Structure 1
Amino acid sequence: MEIIMRKFVSLSLVALTLGSAAIAAPTHFNGAKLLPMAKISLVQARKTALAAHPGVITDQELEKEGGGTGLRYSFDIKANGKTFEVGVDGRTGKVLENKAEGPNPD
């Protein structure tokens, strides 16, 4: 029984570590200079984007853009062979956009 518990704890720790790595955010990205204006952290915005559209984040930026409060995290998320753009308001955390990228992504 003790061996089974050790294996379970070890596997749980591995899963927790891998799950955190999927959401962890790099420190340098396009628009990082705008972070002081944001009320929502990059990590929070990544979690929100992945909840709205599960997949792998392939690109991210923080930009001043119309809609919402005017400060938006923009994520490209790859899922099932397609790329989706998910926009998260940098001040409210609300999902502003969740759509498949067209043939000419910006």
Structure 2
Amino acid sequence: MVLQTLTLRLAMLGLMATVATGASAYDGQELAGSAKIKIDDARAIALKARQGTISSEELEKEKGGSGLRYSFVVKSGKTLYEVGVDAETGKLLENAKEGANPD
């Protein structure tokens, strides 16, 4: 019981620290130092191109554009879309319905 209470308190402290600092982890965050466009700006670009709710996000090296891009899965209605934003230029690289084998 004491261990459960301690674990719960530590989890809550971690959550509060994340909320207080505005920090949020995403896949590929270690590449953020190489990106000229920050993730908050990339999110805004993605949501301007495809209205909805972001359900996942990552920064990845991928062919096309500068080779470094943010990829967002945006839920619009009942449909999922992949929206890609170049991490160097902010240019929209992709805005398409997720396929049968999303990456």
TM-score (norm 1): 0.75
Question: C-alpha distance in 1, partners of 2:97/2:51?
Answer: 13
Kindly indicate whether residue 35 of structure 2 is the aligned counterpart of residue 38 of structure 1: yes
Q: Would the alpha carbon gap of residues 26 and 54 (structure 1) be closer, same or farther in structure 2, given more than 3 Å must change? A: farther
CA deviation profile, 1:64-96 (whole Å, cap 9, x unmatched): 001000000000000010000000000000000
CA deviation profile, 1:37-57 (whole Å, cap 9, x unmatched): 000000000000000000000
Kindly indicate whether residue 71 of structure 2 is the aligned counterpart of residue 52 of structure 1: no
Question: C-alpha distance in 1, partners of 2:93/2:35?
Answer: 15
SS of residue matched to 1:47: helix
Percent identical among aligned pairs is 51
Structure 1 equivalent of residue 7 of structure 2: none
Any residues of structure 2 matched to 1:26-105 within 5 Å, and which? 27-105=24-102
Letter in 1 for 2:24: T
What count of residue pairs does the alignment treat as equivalent?
82
**Structure 1 unmatched runs, 5+:** 1-24
**Structure 2 unmatched runs, 5+:** 1-21
Letter in 2 for 1:100: K
CA RMSD of aligned residues (A): 1.1
TM-score (norm 2): 0.77
